[in-house]
Structure 1
Amino acid sequence: MEPSKFAGVLLSEMHQLLLEGELCDVNLSVENSVIPAHRIVLAALSPYFKAMFCSNLEERQSFHIKIQDLNYHAVKAIVNFAYTGELDVTEDSVQSIMQTASMMQISTIEHICSTFLVEHLHPSNCLGIRDFGHIIGSFHLREVSDKYCEANFFEVSQHEEFLKLDVDEVIGLISRDSLKVAKEEEVYAAVMRWVAFDPERSKNDVSLIMEHVRLPLVQWDFLIKEVSKDKLFVTNEDCRNYLQQARAFQASSFHPDLINFAFNEAVVRSQPRTFFSAADRLYCVGGESSNREILSSFESYNPFKNQSKELPPLPEAKRSLGLAIVDKVIYAIGGATSSQCSRSVHAFDIDKLQWQSKGQLCIGRSSVAVAVLCGSIFALGGHGDQAVLASYEKYDADLNSWSLSEMLEPRSMAAAAVLDYRLYLCGGYNGTEDMHSCHVYDSKSKQWSACASMIEPRSMLGVAALDGKIYAAGGCHRDQCLSCVEVYDPGENQWTSIRALIGPRRGMGLGVVGDTLYMAGGHDGKSLQRSILKFNKQTQDWTVVGNLITSRGRFGC
């Protein structure tokens, strides 16, 4: 007989002895009820019982053992598990069973209960489960629950558990850069619900909480029509100051003399959160196929479900275009049609699943780099009808128009990323050679300057910001398709090589979903690719995790 089968038979026989009351040598008295058992089984299950029965304690010889401060049904379920390997866990019983298992040092049952709780996390209970994990010393349960609270903050903030938090716990949540909210208005609304739930409780603490609401980042109309009209910002001096700083911050875009006040007084409150304007999917649009056909197809990749999905196509086929996301709207910018460099801009509403035309660029731009800085879209360089461009354009959503300015030098097939109020423009092609230079645009001074050059010259590369650093991957140099990857540290002003891709890529998409870097599509020097790669920050490995529906290169991502 196989050992596993033998063990199962033996366990079944011991359970039968328990049911028949045979050879039981201990009665556990819990909440005035008795649970019979065999010492050897309990000692094998739990270090708690082993220490009790295999030492010089009085319980070693006692037949009746009274167990204080534990739940009868939890202990009964644990004893039953010792004989059957089965645990009947419900939402009503799981916490008492896990707490009992923790005290008895039964890690297997703790794991089963922890897994059950994680699977049943909901915006209405995640804060309570997080606190329970802290109480019983389950770091894993607390950490997973806490991350769930972050990732679902908007829904969590509408439930009673959130409304009953004390001031320090509210601050502990809303002060995080990693709070997953689409816009700061969601945080403001959550705080105002907390205030309204118990006005007497919150009257002395509201300014402490409001300090961590990033009012400089709410929309101007919301700031003027909603925030400034709330009596809180009339009667509370601290809150009134936060409002003034927010207005000065936003007005500094038009009145540079206000910029020092706005940034010096509200540095933390004007720092965008990690997930602002972020997508929870990777979006890929346009590009070219393996036979050089220009594409209009549009798809998304959901990394959490590992699913790709077709979306309504771009109204016109384009390659070498740029893509940006602002407030759940995707902008497809510039690029090239079959006949010319394009000035067209189309916007896709993620909720409505509809495209509409937007104000055109001042200049047609193919191989354009696109990035979002402080809520504004920048279209940088690219190739015009005659030559490589040294200009960039900034989009004004209110006016639905673009304004034209100059960069330090011409470049197309470059890539851009934003980090800490700065836009980094990396690599590209200047009309003569591939470039390794990088320039940075500071939103405060509104000036361009050079920063450290990349180690490898490259065009058609991918660039993305992650965890306070800039990643540059793939691309090409002198017709050589590259697999090398390097990382820029702004504090050190230095690029460092890290582990290469699993194969060369150029003209691919590189983007961050949540806190993870993904690469999609592109050309490996021989053929177009469909594969989607995921970057592991700990090991620095790239692994294939999925596929695009359509093989494509030189597309918007």
Structure 2
Amino acid sequence: MEREGEVLFSRLVAQMHTLWKQELLCDIHLHVQDRVIAAHRVVLAALSPYFRAMFCSQLNESHQPTVTIQGFSYPVIYMIVEYAYTADIPLNEDNVQNILHVASVMQIESLEHLCTQFLAERLNPSNCLGIRELAQSFGCYDLQTKADSFCEDNFSKVSQNEEFLKLSANQVINLVARDALKVRTEEEVYTAVIGWLEYAAEERAEDMVKIMEKVRLPLVRWEFLMGKVRNHKLFTNNDQCRQYLQQARAFQASSYHPDLNNFAFNEAVLLAQPRIGYGATDFLYAVGGETTNRELITMVEGYNPVSNKSTELSAMPTARRSLGILIVDNMIFAVGGSDKGAAVSTVEVFDIETGVWKTRASLCRPRTSVAAAVLEGQVFAVGGHDGQRALSSAEMYDSDTDCWNQTAELQTPRSMASSVCLKNRLYVLGGYDGEMDLRSAEKLDSRLAEWLPIASMHDSRSMCGAAVLDDKILVAGGSSGAQCLSSVEMYNPSSDQWTVLQPLTSPRRGLGLAVIGGAVYAAGGHDGKKYLNSVEKFNMYDQGWTVVGYLAECRGRFGFA
């Protein structure tokens, strides 16, 4: 019976549409832009409260054979009348705004929903601000909320489009003041604001102070602050902007001089609260490893160095230490390692956005204490130990076929080495060759597909950390024989020379070393007596290190990126 009712209803609708197309039994004619659309009052009244009020009241239009519709185009009204008979309308990017306007005025909720859904599915950095404004003007609050969230989630790309450059000062202030902006660094907000101000420099000069007040200058990198910010004409010509700069300098200097406490510092503290979005997109990730009594752990945590907060994430499926960790396309690769002493070939991938671990193809051979890095988008697993010997072999992952392939071999077998990529070259530093800890290092030139030696480090070291900072390679900590190291040195590829820097605040072997927001952080490791969870930051200001926070778990020989 229910099926028969559906069939009957479909037939009735089809017949009504046929009658309309043939202009039979029509009792109302809509006069639009000197053209006429015939229709049935009952159908239009059923579609829209606007027409219901017009035809079912004491208004003159209720008994007139012709009604003039003003302010709208004939093609749009015709499509809406046809929609009343078919529940179908050919939306496209050229007509959707006009159709939404009419649907909003005529209170056709079903059509409003279709239009807003169409626009929401097509949100992109170049149109989201316009769609947000359109939705606000028509009272489409769901669409307005979606467009607003899209602007927050993609602020850096949005700010590079003309829509952003044409916003009013109050609209820019509303955006950049938000905690929810998802930006990797505050430099992105500063750059966006400067771009907006310079787009119409003369007429926007009076707005610069109230807008710059919302930029959280204390959170930008020291080098950026003292380079681009300090030397910009805004900060050389405007007293209030210079005060904002002084506040930021005072706050950052407090990292080097903890006893600093003055008015500028106290004012800056209010602007140094990290954005929620910053913490959502920029974590340092600590994965697996070993802790007290050499217990293997699966715990994964995301550490935000700005807020000094650690968030526990989905645990790694298999407990491993001495694994390689790298991040590519928002995916964390956990490569090789050992479980309870045995080298493994396991590879697992963590999707940062979904929080889900997935298995990938295993390595060609087991590798613990493996060096892993990304070179030109390709994932490499280099050296390591297979349970019998230190390895010189290396493998590269093919994401299209989900398999690993052998690639060029190291000149020297290395386990417990560190690796980084810099300017299309993969560097492997230090390590253990089966007999001794190494001072030597090598680089892989992707064009030559062979490993070449570079200058040796000052200290031999294995289980050290390595990171790239300002086109140089920084190496810290590790083991040299029985000694646990706190020493730090930096390699300049241009001169092929190593320079000794200030040591870590404590010795660390099996530590994590990574860069976030243009700053280097050293975390965890073992100091020769115990496992650590402290995190220290390298200060470019005095080339020294300062403890700035703590991981949730003491751990060593873990993955860190």
Instruction: Give, in whole Å, the separation in 2 of the partners of 1:395 and 1:316.
Output: 34
1:45–1:82 contact (8 Å) kept in structure 2: yes
Does 2:530 align with 1:388? yes
Q: 2:523 aligns with which of 345, 358, 379?
A: 379
Superposition RMSD on alpha carbons, in Å? 4.5
Residue type matched to 2:271 in 1? R
Q: State the distance in 2 between where 1:193 and 1:397 align.
A: 29
| SS class of match (2:269) | coil
Give the one of 87, 101, 104 matched to 2:103.
101
One-letter amino acid matched to 2:531:
L
Structure 1 residues 275, 89: closer, same or farther in 2, change over 3 A? same
Any conservation in 2 of the 1:360–1:402 contact (CA below 8 Å)? no
Q: Verify the 8 A CA contact 1:394 1:402 in the aligned structure 2.
A: no
One-letter code aligned to 1:211: E
SS in 1 for 2:523: strand
Equivalences for residues 28-47 of structure 1 within 5 A: 28-47=30-49
Instruction: Report the CA distance shift for 1:367/1:164 in structure 2 as closer, same or farther (over 3 A).
Output: closer
- Residues of 1 paired with 2:335 and 2:539: CA distance? 23
Q: Does 1:191 align with 2:193?
A: yes
- For 1:136-176, what per-residue CA distance to the aligned partner results, in whole angstroms no more than 9, with x for missing partners? 11111111111111122222212221111111100111111
Q: Which residue pairs with 2:437 in the alignment?
A: none
Supply the distance in 1 between the matched residues of 2:270 and 2:201 (Cα, whole angstroms). 26
**Does residue 301 of the first structure (1) align with residue 351 of the second (2)?**
yes
- The answer on whether the counterparts of 1:28 and 1:35 sit within 8 Å (CA) in structure 2 is yes
Give the distance between the partners of 1:352 and 1:115, measured in 2 at CA: 44
Shift of 1:135: 0.6
Structure 2 CA distance for aligned equivalents of residues 401 and 293 of structure 1 = 38
Task: Check the 8 A contact 2:79/2:89 in 1, yes or no.
Answer: yes
What amino acid maps onto 2:523 in structure 1?
A: A
Letter in 2 for 1:379: A
Contact 1:320–1:336 (CA under 8 A) maintained in structure 2? yes
Q: How far 1:130 sits from its partner (Å)? A: 0.2
Query: Does the Cα contact within 8 Å between 2:338 and 2:368 map onto a contact in 1?
Result: no
Is 1:283 aligned to 2:332, yes or no?
Answer: yes
Partner of 1:360: 476
Going from structure 1 to structure 2, the CA distance change for 1:243 and 1:399 (only over 3 Å counts) comes to: closer
Alpha-carbon contact 2:348-2:357 (below 8 Å) kept:
no
SS of equivalent residue, structure 2 residue 114 = helix
Q: Which amino acid aligns with 1:394?
A: E
| Counterpart contact for 1:234–1:240, Cα < 8 Å | yes
Q: How far does residue 248 in structure 1 lie from its aligned partner after superposition? A: 1.8
1:226 aligns to what? 228
Is contact 1:371-1:423 (8 Å) kept?
no
1:40/1:138 Cα in 2 relative to 1: closer, same or farther (>3 Å)? same
Alpha-carbon contact 1:312-1:353 (below 8 Å) kept: no
- The Cα of 1:177 is off from its aligned counterpart by 1.9
Structure 1 contact 302–308 (Cα < 8 Å) conserved:
no
State how far apart, in whole Å, the 2-side matches of 1:295 and 1:399 are.
Answer: 42
**Residues 361-402 of structure 1: CA distance to partner in whole angstroms, max 9, x if unpaired?**
33455698999899552523x5566x5335745242759999
Q: Specify whether residues 343 and 391 from structure 1 end up closer, same or farther in structure 2 by C-alpha distance, changes over 3 A only.
A: farther
* Alpha-carbon offset, residue 12 of structure 1: 1.5
Aligned match of 1:418: none
Compared with structure 1, are the counterparts of its residues 378 and 73 closer, same or farther at alpha carbon in structure 2 (3 Å cutoff)?
same
State the Cα deviation string for residues 63-88 of structure 1 (Å, max 9, x = none).
Answer: 11122323332221111111122111
Matches within 5 A, 1:441-520: none
Equivalent residue letter for 1:172: N
**Does the 8 Å CA contact 1:287/1:320 hold for their aligned counterparts?**
yes
Q: Which moves more between the two structures, 391-400 or 146-155? A: 391-400
CA contact (8 A) 1:23 1:38 kept: yes
Structure 2: give runs of 5+ residues left out of the alignment: 284-328, 391-414, 430-465, 467-474, 478-485, 487-506
Within the candidate set 144, 148, 156, 1:142 is matched to 144
Amino acid corresponding to residue 278 of structure 1 in structure 2? D
Larger Rg: 2
Deviates more, 1:62-71 or 1:90-99: 62-71
Letter of the 1:299 partner, please give it. V
Contact 1:27 1:35 in 2 (8 A): yes
CA distance in 1, matches of 2:108, 2:265: 53
1:311 & 1:397 partners in 2: Cα distance? 40
Shift of 1:211: 0.9
The equivalent position to 1:53 in structure 2, one of 33, 52, 55, is 55
Q: Are positions 1:272 and 2:274 aligned together?
A: yes
Structure 2 distance, partners of 1:355, 1:55, is: 81
Q: What is the identity, as a one-letter code, of the residue corresponding to 1:283?
A: I
Percent of paired sites with the same residue: 39
Aligned-partner residue type, residue 242 of structure 1: Y
